[in-house]
Structure 1
Amino acid sequence: MSRFDGENVISVETYRKNGTPVRTPVWFIKEEDRLVVHTGGNSGKVKRIKRNRKVRVAPSKFRGEPKADFVDAQAEIVADPEAVKMYYSLIYKKYGLMGSFTKFVQRFTRSNTEDVLLFIRPV
């Protein structure tokens, strides 16, 4: 997990039904044994993880270019509004005004869906 220390973005690789990998750059919070990512409940990431919890993650640049090798992981979808609220406070702390601005923009660009967290644990 130390490979994610000091990083701001990770690339999360999920898999389509046919096995094709899809890489998505995301902000995250690193906790002791997991990475926590926020996303919309109807996002492509969530749909793919519902079918296959196996993911790969790597530190990445803002546009998703990996900065290190990917590691195998398992993702868990957590749809707890209180946990999402707590996560936002951690995002604001880590990313400052950019975190607040992103949340503001998401209110207008996302469909009417509940936000969820992805708990990602390397295996």
Structure 2
Amino acid sequence: MIDLGAQQYISVTTYRRDGTPVATPLWAAQDGDAVVFWTPAGSGKIKRIRNNPEVSVAGCDVRGNLRTEPVRGRAEVLDAAGTERVRELLRRKYGLIARITIFGSRLRRGPEGTVGVRITGV
């Protein structure tokens, strides 16, 4: 099994109501037996996950070109404490660039403007 949390980027595919897949390359980190990522709270992927938590995940490059075979998982949008944990895991993994990105996001969107997502079953 591929350690998706160790990948530089992962491609998370969510599904529209009509079943159309939408893939997005993201930063991710390992959190125990799950993979986590962070994204704007009002993003399309969050709306799609709330409608259908089934996702497909694969390692990819920054442009979303897959580097590993996709695996199925189940996504969960996290609360404020869980989101802060995701931010910390990303800071540890990506270092200074993550600190700058997360800080800039807090300035633009406020502390509730982003949410963490946990994917299990991968």
- Name the TM-score, length of structure 2 as normaliser: 0.86
Which residue is 2:34 aligned to?
A: 34
CA distance in 2, matches of 1:5, 1:82: 20
Distance 1:65 1:96, change over 3 A: same
Segments of 5+ residues of structure 2 without an aligned counterpart are: none
Could you report, residue by residue, the CA deviation over 1:55-92 in whole angstroms, capped at 9, with x for unpaired residues?
A: 0000010121110111111111112x222222222211
Amino acid at match of 2:46: V
* Structure 1 unaligned residues grouped into runs of 5+: none
TM-aligned CA deviation for residue 2 of structure 1: 3.7
Contact kept, 8 Å, 1:12 with 1:23, in 2: the verdict is yes
**Counterpart residue number, 1:86:** 85
Query: Structure 2 vs 1, CA of residues 3 and 112 (structure 1 numbering), >3 Å: closer, same or farther?
Result: closer
Cα gap change, 1:109 to 1:25, in 2 (>3 Å): farther
Residues in 1 aligned to 2:108 and 2:66: alpha-carbon distance in whole angstroms: 26
CA contact (8 A) 1:9 1:25 kept: yes
Query: Which segment is superposed worse, 47-56 or 36-45?
Result: 36-45
CA separation of 1:30 and 1:112: change in aligned 2, threshold 3 A: closer
Kindly indicate whether the alpha-carbon contact (under 8 Å) linking 1:10 and 1:27 is maintained by their aligned counterparts in 2.
yes
TM-score by length of 1: 0.86
Contact 1:42 1:113 in 2 (8 A): no
Partner of 1:45: 45
Alpha-carbon distance between aligned partners in 2 of 1:111 and 1:44, rounded to the nearest angstrom: 19
Aligned length: 122
Does residue 22 in structure 1 map to residue 22 in structure 2?
Answer: yes
Q: Which moved more, 1:29-38 or 1:103-112?
A: 103-112
**Residue in 2 that maps onto 1:56:** 56
Contact 2:6 2:29 in 1 (8 A): no
Q: Distance in 2 between matches of 1:40 and 1:77?
A: 11
Distance 1:111 1:13, change over 3 A: farther
CA contact (8 A) 1:60 1:68 kept: yes
What SS is found at the alignment partner of 1:120?
Answer: strand
Instruction: Name the structure 2 match of 1:96.
Output: 95
